[in-house]
Structure 1
Amino acid sequence: MVREWPSNLDVGELVDGGWRPTPFRQFILKIHSRCDLACTYCYMYEMADSSWRTRPKQMAPETASATVTRIAEHVHSHSIDAIEVILHGGEPLLAGREAIRDIVTGVRSAVGGTRVKVSLQTNATLLDLPYLRLFDELDVHVGVSLDGDAAMHDRSRRRANGQGSHSAVMTALGLLTSPAYRHLFGGLLCTIDLRNDPLGAYEALLAFGPPAIDFLLPHGNWSAPPPGRDPESGATPYADWLIPIFDRWYDAAHRPTRIRFFSEIIRLLLGGSSATEQVGLSPAAMVVVETDGSIEQSDFLKSAYQGAAETGLHVTRSSFDDVLRHPAIVARQIGERALSATCRRCPIAKVCGGGLYAHRYREGHGFANPSVYCPDLFTLVTHIKHAVEARPRARGEERRSRSTGPGRGAPMHLGEHRIPARTFSELAAGQGGASAVAQLAAAQRSKHILLVRGVLETARQVGHPRAASVRRAYDLLAAVQRDHPEAVDAVLRHPSVGAWARHTVTALVTGREDAAPEQLAGLAAAAAIRSGTVCEIDVPAVEGVVTLPSLGQAVLAPTLSGATAHCFADGADVMADGTVVRVPRDPRQDAPGWRGLRTLSAEAEETPLRVVIDDLDPYRMPGTANMGGRLTPAEVRRWQSTLDGAWSLLVRHHPVVAGEVAAAITVFTPLVPPEQGQSSATSRETFGCVALSTPPDATTLAVTLAHETQHAKLSALLDIVPLTKPDDGSRHYAPWRPDPRPVPGLLQGAYAYLGVADFWRRQRHLETGEAAVEAGAEFARWRAGARMVTETILGSGLLTEPGTAFVAEMADQLDRWADEPVPAASRALARERAEHHLAVWHATNS
């Protein structure tokens, strides 16, 4: 067996010369060594190493305990502030939920204050709601392997019986990307198959809106070349496959995701360091523990030869410091000195880094060779270099600060949002489904980013006295975004953030005293707490109350106007004048001085729902006169019970509406109840929030959610496509309002009641007796009322060209329902109510 480290490597000499090993920060735990798929390209089961056959299928509890002890020992001896634990296999989900729970909680308990990010890479065939609930509880991020569309994916990723796995993965991704669990979505891993169309594969992956994509070169080496790669040829089939994807991604006005391979190359070209083994010369800081407790190098090495990953060390008798001194690990930490002579002479050596270590192997020569992918890597890196030099900052690339403190980190990417014609038509008909709403929500996220950036720029331009502190807050937010984009995304998507930012920009421009740009620090602190970023930042207080959007409020002495948030891996302290409020690890929980935002959830396997009750943020629903206060625990339980019934009704009988609600609505804000019925509202400034009084029953809440989701859809669409011209002062009758309405208001109402009519159109068939008569009357009344108003709007002359097409499609949809029969009793009741409303309106407004 040829050693995989350079023959002239002398560890003692390196240490004497001043070299010190880099402690491990990434621990890959093989919790199950088998898999329920038989992928043709799998390096674990289909290539040179077959050690899996002799290892236990699952990591035993005593092995897991010893591993946890070794991790804690390593963390404490090196004072490491953050580590990542990756649960791997085989297929890690085969280990079962309890085993995963024990390992995750065991590691976090053992390492104390060190922040532990836990992730899991899965083929997703076993990923279901019970697993997702567990991962939500434990904050475990999930990466999924997906190679493209069904034909692409099932070429290689099949079960042992030859059956494809794509349909099972689609079901799992549908759950993982639902609003309730999307925050756990770590990204997609795609193994390159030259037989697949690259752009087709890329588009298939983008359909799920992944936060990141990894394109993985198939494992191979000089002695066992990867598919389509002739080691003796200068051809570059893998670069040729990747370059069209890079061009599409890099040239886009909005980069919809991060492609790690490309991002790491750009980072290296701009003088940064790599965070992946694929490229660059950064020391390898990861280690693998197998199911039997053996400590190994990267398991990619199993593709080279039998035993290539072995170190001979074991968690029961060896520390991870022992592993750091192993020559094989040292060879992967000394950078350029471990490269072949050919690589050291190469002009892109510091970027390419010789490629993945496993890909350098040649039988009889070990690993002191260029990568078997050398021509592909050279071509790809050179292509990216030319693109970056041509547009070094045109798409937001910035040099990363090398400091560990907050700085001007990665930018928050914006997008140019367009609505496809088919989606526009579906929305006009009152539908569109979850996919259309997801597009609208993405545009709202970009809108919030623009507004937050606008707060920073406007504060600077007007010379606001706190502009410097606003800059520091923005820099912290950007630094957190660089490493934890999901945490920043959760804060920026919170509805009140958009309302605060819009209000602040307007107030700064007009010179009003109620401008609050310093609240940007509240956003930054919330993102830091969500991500476990260790930092300190001054935050504003209003009468002693510090608001952290999406999390809750810290209540200090009422005379205070500011405080300091000390953020840790497991929470935060908000401090001022000797008073300390601890933000708990789970901010949803109340604690002394802390009021958390509670959550409601409705579990349905097809479409789960989770919403936050925001009864605290001062910007939660601007301009609303009947804003409610803090709900009591008993009131929260009542809301939860009513939501359970409403959601069951929507999912079972109105599934398209349920999908739209789940994709659009993330926050409920309580209102003071009226004397009769229920109040509800949405605001164009707070997409995702529905304000409502306590729902009287499940059916009322269900139709309210349908109604308000229509408002949310139209408001978001209006930010992309103008549908109306400027108001000309004319006012018109609306059969759902007591006052005359302008055309934009008519359009909002007609679109909402289009959705209400559609709800009762289906619901009337589920009811019996008086309830059926009532449901039929609601359908008849609102289809007629909405149709009458569309006619008013179409004749107003105040629609843009897209607006005319939109309202015409609304009218066509209502016309299609006009012939549906309604019982005479329902028709009479609808007519009676409509005539009464019109009479009262004329008496009031004449």
Structure 2
Amino acid sequence: MADGWRPTPFRQFILKIHSRCDLACKYCYMYEMADSSWLTRPKQMSREIVAATAARIAEHAHRHGLRDIEIILHGGEPLLAGPEAIRETVTRIRSAAAGTRVRASLQTNGLRLDESYLRLLDELDIRVGVSLDGDETMHDRSRRRAGGRGSHAEVSRALRLLISPTFRHLFSGLLCTVDLRNDPIGVYEALLAFDPPAVDFLLPHGNWSAPPAGRLPHEETTPYADWLIPIFDRWYGAARRPTRVRMFGEIIQVLLGGSSSSEQIGLSPAGMVVVETDGGIEQSDVLKSAYQGAPETGLHVTRDSFDDALLLPSIAARQIGELALCPTCRACPVSRICGGGLYAHRYRSGHGFANPSVYSPDLLRLIKHVKSTVEADLPARSKRRGRDTMNLREHRITAGVFSKLAAGGGGAAAVARLSAAQHSKHVLLVRGVLEAARANGHPDAAVTRRAYDLLATVQRRHPGAVDTVLRHPSVGAWARRTVKMLDAHAEDAAPGQLAALAAAAAIRSGTACDIDVPAVEGVVTLPSLGQAILSPTVSWATVECAEGGAEVTADGTIVTVPRDPGRDAPGWKGLRSLSTEVDGVPLHLVIDDLDPYRMPETTNIGGRLTEAETERWQSTLEEAWHLLVRHHRAVADEVVTAITVLTPLVAPARGQSSSTSGETYGCVALSTPPDASTFAVTLTHETQHAKLSALLDLIPLTLPDDGRRYYAPWREDPRPVPGLLQGAYAFLGVAGFWMRQRHLETGEAALRASSEFFRWREAARLVTGTLLGSGRLTPAGENFATGMALRLDRWAQESVPARARALGRARADDHYARWLERNG
């Protein structure tokens, strides 16, 4: 295709199994607007058309390697097709598409939704959405039978049955068409009365040639935004949001850099196709609101594939994003969020669809309002409590704590605050995995939901067990990357790993449960515990947990998790730990040399330590901890509060290798420490990085990268401002370590310590000056760097022996000469 574009396979198939309806809603695009093709089509999809549709869906899924798809039974009113037609349609498609997960849902007006239907839908695992426009007066304005009788009473009866404990799990949400005559908050509260899991507000279908009520072409009034904004404010400002509102959620997701799963919002390619009762393959049926035959493609399931539809220009126009927008939309500041609005709403007779939405002023006002509200509140969003976000609390850094951190310290209390914020970040990311898996229709979404529910159950009874798992550094990296991959619709996203988190928490707490967990080439990774090794062909296993222990089973193989999971056992590799205590200050560090997410994007990640290597790490740690506790107590207090995990790295040709990552707070990756002082200074250096990364999640200190690069005395490559800040802050800590350490040493060791102090003090001062002169710090960043500079200026008054100064200067000059030779 031109410009490298490739069509996006269809993942959502809307099947018009019955073309008639037992309501006569005044705003219905099917029967009341431009297209009247329903009059000439069969009332019901025949068995032959169902069979052909099933074959075409399976063909499309297998050709594109789709792991999951969705079918939506639609109409008219789909329940008019009868229970046997619904059963045959769903079972035939699932049978034909063996190997692909087929999710099924149904959108109904609710009139025929009784217990017998709900039992069928439960048997077939079909989710149910119901249309409701508010209370009786509001709903019955438009949603009436042909004779004029309202339908609210019957819909309410059906909803009360649907939300009963027996069938509640089938309820996908409410669909509400905006009616300007109805009070918006009154509508919202009437919908909430049925405790819906989601609400979808739809703008009435209209276009420039047939404008919706209250929306006059070329007028800049915003009646629909004015109607929706009070609902948004009520919904967004609630301490506990009672439901998801799809339109608002999609806008926020796109504003924050994610993708949209709705045709109404964003520029994500449309992945939906319609099959009519006669087998015609069509575009979105809401195009019927534009003109006669607007959704038709001329294709038919008995002779054409869905791939043939993908190649049609009309389908491509709904998949190429910004390229399909008119010049007016492309110039709009919210075009990426708005996406031009619903495609059908752009139509103008004689000009086609290359126009802004007829709702353009409303969308602009609504999006700007949402944007300003979210931006004003963004620093605090991670502080609020949600329905099931495991009791997040507000995280603030006081001016006093900020000042202490800027000076390179802070102490245990400050680091504890940062650690608590990182715990909340992990909780939010885990919740984000759940939401993204659901929003993107990932095949593991149901597994993810069950895992999250188990995790929440364990948390209520054994919060410490869940906290230990969620604080494990690799959990943050896995969750962050999984959310990003789900938003990008990446095929290898792994939200099912949430089940392994839940299993680890259950094992730690002794909670009785059975839960399916993913295996990668037969390896089940349980974060914070270890790995179960099964057959390489196994992709899923079951963790059976009881108060007395746990087993991991698959294909007849049973791996027993030891009572002490840190011990190895047949089929089990445990995460070992290092422990020591000096003067009543204990240190316990887990060695994570197994988890695939233990240190992302690290090219020299090490393998599993041998027992001899582990013993060497233990003995060196004991000496290093003695040094830190006895002579660098403030650093020791920060290390014990911030660092929980060590990850081995492959040693470089010379010296020590170490790193931390903002994705894995609490983990220090390092090669085998050659001696106690190197181990101690490495922990000092990497704890500084951990503190700053955690602070940056709360307070932005740098402006967006403008492309400029600078000299850093500890790197061979030019660095951007954020990299300079990280390095300067880390070596501020290193300089402090050597300033104290030089007074403990004698002879050559004292000379080395003094030269290290001089070198890193001067290096950090140089770069801090660069930062303050860069113009790329936020006001908070200016204050932070000033605090660093003040501390370094005080240290500059410390006398250093001439020989140590000469050694430090020679090493610094040598580095700068090499840097210039390499970089110019």
Length-normalised TM-score, structure 2: 0.55
8 Å contact kept, 2:517–2:543: no
Question: Are 2:164 and 1:178 equivalent residues in the alignment?
Answer: yes
AA matched with 1:259: V
AA matched with 2:374: V
In structure 2, distance between residues paired with 1:241 and 1:302: 26
Question: Are 2:110 and 1:112 equivalent residues in the alignment?
Answer: no
1:580-633 alpha-carbon deviations (Å, 9 max, x no partner): 7459xxxxxxx9989xxxxxxxxxxxxxxxxxxxxxxxxxxxxxxxxxxxxxxx
Corresponding residue of 1:503: 462
1:751-790 alpha-carbon deviations (Å, 9 max, x no partner): xxxxxxxxxxxxxxxxxxxxxxxxxxxxxxxxxxxxxxxx
Corresponding residue of 1:450: 391
Corresponding residue of 2:18: 32
Residue of 351, 358, 364 corresponding to 1:365: 351
AA matched with 1:482: A
Residue of 240, 243, 252 corresponding to 1:257: 243
Report deviation, 1:320: 0.6
Secondary structure of the structure 2 residue equivalent to 1:249: helix
Corresponding residue of 1:799: none
Report deviation, 1:217: 0.4
Residue of 134, 153, 158 corresponding to 2:120: 134
Corresponding residue of 1:89: 75
Corresponding residue of 1:240: 226
8 Å contact kept, 2:132–2:191: yes
In structure 1, distance between residues paired with 2:427 and 2:192: 32
1:44-123 map, 5 Å: 44-123=30-109
Report deviation, 1:88: 0.7
8 Å contact kept, 2:458–2:509: no
Corresponding residue of 1:721: none
Residue of 212, 230, 236 corresponding to 2:216: 230
In structure 2, distance between residues paired with 1:542 and 1:144: 37
Q: Structure 1's 335 and 508: CA in aligned 2 closer, same or farther, altered over 3 A?
A: closer
1:687-746 alpha-carbon deviations (Å, 9 max, x no partner): xxxxxxxxxxxxxxxxxxxxxxxxxxxxxxxxxxxxxxxxxxxxxxxxxxxxxxxxxxxx
Q: Structure 1's 337 and 547: CA in aligned 2 closer, same or farther, altered over 3 A?
A: same
In structure 2, distance between residues paired with 1:473 and 1:508: 9
Give RMSD over aligned pairs: 4.4
Q: Structure 1's 535 and 179: CA in aligned 2 closer, same or farther, altered over 3 A?
A: same
In structure 1, distance between residues paired with 2:205 and 2:470: 54
Report deviation, 1:17: 2.8
8 Å contact kept, 1:198–1:244: yes
AA matched with 1:38: A
In structure 2, distance between residues paired with 1:313 and 1:516: 51
Q: Structure 1's 542 and 59: CA in aligned 2 closer, same or farther, altered over 3 A?
A: closer
Report deviation, 1:222: 0.7
Q: Structure 1's 472 and 261: CA in aligned 2 closer, same or farther, altered over 3 A?
A: closer
AA matched with 1:380: L
Report deviation, 1:63: 0.5
Residue of 299, 307, 319 corresponding to 2:305: 319
Report deviation, 1:476: 5.2
1:202-232 alpha-carbon deviations (Å, 9 max, x no partner): 0111111111111100001111110111113
1:559-582 alpha-carbon deviations (Å, 9 max, x no partner): x9866599xxx9942389xx9745
Question: Are 2:541 and 1:573 equivalent residues in the alignment?
Answer: yes
Corresponding residue of 2:131: 145
1:388-787 map, 5 Å: 388-396=374-382, 414-415=385-386, 446=388, 449-450=390-391, 475=429, 478-484=432-438, 498=457, 501-505=460-464, 535=497, 538=500, 539-540=503-504, 549=513, 572-574=540-542, 581=553
1:424-460 alpha-carbon deviations (Å, 9 max, x no partner): xxxxxxxxxxxxxxxxxxxxx64x8339999xxxxx9
Report deviation, 1:475: 5.0
Q: Structure 1's 230 and 473: CA in aligned 2 closer, same or farther, altered over 3 A?
A: closer
In structure 2, distance between residues paired with 1:134 and 1:246: 36
8 Å contact kept, 1:93–1:126: yes
In structure 1, distance between residues paired with 2:31 and 2:394: 50
AA matched with 2:306: F
In structure 2, distance between residues paired with 1:452 and 1:123: 41
In structure 2, distance between residues paired with 1:551 and 1:574: 6
Report deviation, 1:61: 1.1
1:785-839 alpha-carbon deviations (Å, 9 max, x no partner): xxxxxxxxxxxxxxxxxxxxxxxxxxxxxxxxxxxxxxxxxxxxxxxxxxxxxxx
1:498-521 alpha-carbon deviations (Å, 9 max, x no partner): 466433429989xxxxx9999x99
In structure 2, distance between residues paired with 1:357 and 1:231: 17
Corresponding residue of 2:361: 375
1:468-493 alpha-carbon deviations (Å, 9 max, x no partner): 99998985564124333886666666
Q: Structure 1's 127 and 344: CA in aligned 2 closer, same or farther, altered over 3 A?
A: same
Which fold has the larger relative contact order, with Cα–Cα distance below 8 Å and residues 6 or more apart in sequence? 1
In structure 1, distance between residues paired with 2:14 and 2:298: 17
Q: Structure 1's 381 and 517: CA in aligned 2 closer, same or farther, altered over 3 A?
A: closer
Secondary structure of the structure 2 residue equivalent to 1:209: coil
In structure 1, distance between residues paired with 2:539 and 2:325: 43
Report deviation, 1:235: 1.1
In structure 2, distance between residues paired with 1:76 and 1:535: 25
In structure 2, distance between residues paired with 1:74 and 1:471: 39
AA matched with 1:116: V
In structure 1, distance between residues paired with 2:264 and 2:316: 17
AA matched with 1:142: V
8 Å contact kept, 1:565–1:575: no
Q: Structure 1's 283 and 553: CA in aligned 2 closer, same or farther, altered over 3 A?
A: closer
In structure 1, distance between residues paired with 2:145 and 2:153: 12
8 Å contact kept, 1:564–1:574: no
Question: Are 2:204 and 1:218 equivalent residues in the alignment?
Answer: yes
1:804-815 map, 5 Å: none
Length-normalised TM-score, structure 1: 0.53
Corresponding residue of 1:346: 332
Q: Structure 1's 363 and 470: CA in aligned 2 closer, same or farther, altered over 3 A?
A: closer
8 Å contact kept, 1:192–1:217: yes
Q: Structure 1's 46 and 546: CA in aligned 2 closer, same or farther, altered over 3 A?
A: farther
1:615-664 alpha-carbon deviations (Å, 9 max, x no partner): xxxxxxxxxxxxxxxxxxxxxxxxxxxxxxxxxxxxxxxxxxxxxxxxxx
Larger of the two Rg values belongs to structure: 2
Q: Structure 1's 544 and 68: CA in aligned 2 closer, same or farther, altered over 3 A?
A: farther
Secondary structure of the structure 1 residue equivalent to 2:201: strand
8 Å contact kept, 1:361–1:369: yes
Report deviation, 1:537: 6.3
1:154-209 alpha-carbon deviations (Å, 9 max, x no partner): 00000111111101111111111112211111011100000000000001111111
Q: Structure 1's 205 and 262: CA in aligned 2 closer, same or farther, altered over 3 A?
A: same
Residue of 106, 117, 142 corresponding to 1:156: 142
Q: Structure 1's 499 and 269: CA in aligned 2 closer, same or farther, altered over 3 A?
A: closer
Q: Which segments of 5 or more consecutive residues in structure 1 lack a partner in the other structure?
A: 1-14, 398-412, 416-444, 455-459, 510-514, 584-590, 595-846
8 Å contact kept, 2:17–2:81: yes
192-201 or 178-187, larger mean C-alpha shift:
178-187
